[in-house]
Amino acid sequence: MNKIVEARFLAPEVKLFRIEAPKIAEKRKAGQFIILRVHEKGERIPITIADSNPADGTITIIVQGVGKTTRLLNTLNAGDSILDVVGPLGKPSHIEHFGTAVSIGGGVGTAIAYPTAKALKDAGNYVISIIGGRSKDYVILENEMKQIADEVYPTTDDGSYGFHGFVTDKLQQLIDEGRIIDFVLAIGPIPMMEAVAKVTKPHNIKTVVSLNPIMVDGTGMCGGCRVVVDGKAVFACVDGPEFDAHAVDFEILKQRNRVYRNEEQISLHELECNYDKMFNEELKKQKEQ
């Protein structure tokens, strides 16, 4: 049982939790994640450790409610507990002094990119952060990024805030302006990461993406999280989750992430039927915040 000490919404359906996990707080490095479970019959889901505070023994996670488990999780509040939390899992991000590094986050991907962007800054890089959202409400962590990045560019698909366009349009603009970019980190929906890889490939810019295959144990025991990189199958939970964007087979990743689409709909429907009330209250609170 891991107690939640702080919980607040950052954007619609995107909630930040600070939870007690002293060992993990002490150990974790940028790029690593946890696996959690919210109830006895719950699924094990991976969530990135966005930040940690070894002094008070807490870790921060930022969760986007997309299906049953994440939405259930987002109904929890300070004082509640998360049943199971295990980690830190995965390889830490590879951090070095590249020169100029661009961190691109799409949606909740910004939360996943944040700790690595911070580590890149600490390693002496000039960090440019691009934060993508559907519209103004979906741009998250802008203030946090401003603390650690040298330049921050919010982008929105509808132009309601910041740069009007996709994160790739902003990246392309920087390249076209003749900015020298030595490293790109791109985390978000698969089509976004794929698009970033396409933009950077012709310019030979080293690009890393964080993959989000379906996981179970997170220790290399089941092979469910296998992804194809450089034509070889590797396990994202132990060999990743970060990989060279130009070597990833995105088609296989997309296909494998579709496998339970029907079951995910069933779960969500069931949750909505049972938790309608809970949700309405949650939404009300969200609006108030």
Partner 1 sequence: MAELTPKERMAIPRHKMPEQDPNERIKNFLEVNLGYDEETARREAERCLQCKKPACVAGCPVSVKIPDFIKMIAEGKYKEAASILKEDNALPAVCGRVCPQEEQCEKVCILAKKGQPVAIGYLERWAADWERRTIGLQIAETKPKTGKKVAIVGGGPAGLSCAGDLIQMGHDVTVFEALHEIGGVLIYGIPEFRLPKEIVRAEVDGLKKLGVKFVTNYIIGLTETVDELLQRFDAVFLGVGAGLPYFLGVPGEHLNGVYSSNEFLTRVNLMRAYEFPNADTPIFNIKGKTVVVFGGGNTAMDAVRTSLRLGAKRAIICYRRTEAEMPARVEEVHHAKEEGVEFMLLYAPVELRGDEIGNLREMVVQKMQLGEPDASGRRRPVPIPGAIETIPVDVAVVAIGNGSNPIISSTTPDLKVNKWGNILVDENTMKTNKKGVFAGGDIVTGGATVILAMGAGRKAAAAIDEYLKNPDIW
Ligand X SMILES: Cc1cc2nc3c(=O)[nH]c(=O)nc-3n(C[C@H](O)[C@H](O)[C@H](O)COP(=O)(O)OP(=O)(O)OC[C@H]3O[C@@H](n4cnc5c(N)ncnc54)[C@H](O)[C@@H]3O)c2cc1C
**What does the block give as tokens for 123?**
């390693």
Q: What is the DSSP letter of 83?
A: S
Q: Is 233 in the site for partner 1 (CB under 8 A)?
A: yes
Q: What backbone torsions phi and psi does residue 80 show, to the nearest 5 degrees? A: -75, 170
- Residue 112 interaction partner, one of ligand X, ligand FES, partner 1, none, beta carbon < 5-8 Å per kind: ligand X
Report strand pairing: 232-235 vs 226-229.
Answer: antiparallel
Q: What is the DSSP letter of 123?
A: T
Question: Using CB under 8 A, which residues numbered 72 to 91 contact partner 1?
Answer: 83-89
Q: What is the DSSP letter of 167?
A: H
Question: Using CB under 6 A, which residues numbered 195 to 224 contact ligand FES?
Answer: 215-218, 220-224
- Residue 241 interaction partner, one of ligand FES, ligand X, partner 1, none, beta carbon < 5-8 Å per kind: ligand X
Q: How far is the CB of 50 from ligand X (least distance, A)?
A: 7
**What does the block give as tokens for 269?**
């429907």
Question: Alpha-carbon distance 21 to 4, whole Å?
Answer: 10
Contact present, 150 and 126 (Cβ < 8 Å): yes
Question: Alpha-carbon distance 18 to 27, whole Å?
Answer: 16
Binder of ligand FES out of 237, 245, 248, 253 (CB under 6 A): 237
Taking CB under 6 A as the binding criterion, the range among 51-59, 75-83, 144-152, 206-214 that sits at the site for ligand X is 206-214
Q: Is 74 in the site for ligand X (CB under 6 A)?
A: no
Contacts of 138 (CB under 8 A, 6+ apart): 11, 12, 14, 107, 156
Partnered with residue 58 across adjacent β-strands are: 20, 53
Binder of partner 1 out of 270, 272, 276, 281 (CB under 8 A): 270
**What does the block give as tokens for 168?**
């790739």
Q: Toward partner 1, which CB reaches closer, 158 or 251?
A: 251
Residues near partner 1 (CB under 8 A) are 23-24, 27, 37, 41-44, 68-69, 83-89, 216-217, 219-224, 226, 228, 233, 238, 252, 255-256, 258-260, 262-264, 266-267, 270
Residues near ligand X (CB under 6 A) are 33, 43, 45-48, 61-64, 66-70, 108, 111-112, 212-215, 241, 257, 264, 267-268
Residues near ligand FES (CB under 6 A) are 215-218, 220-225, 235, 237
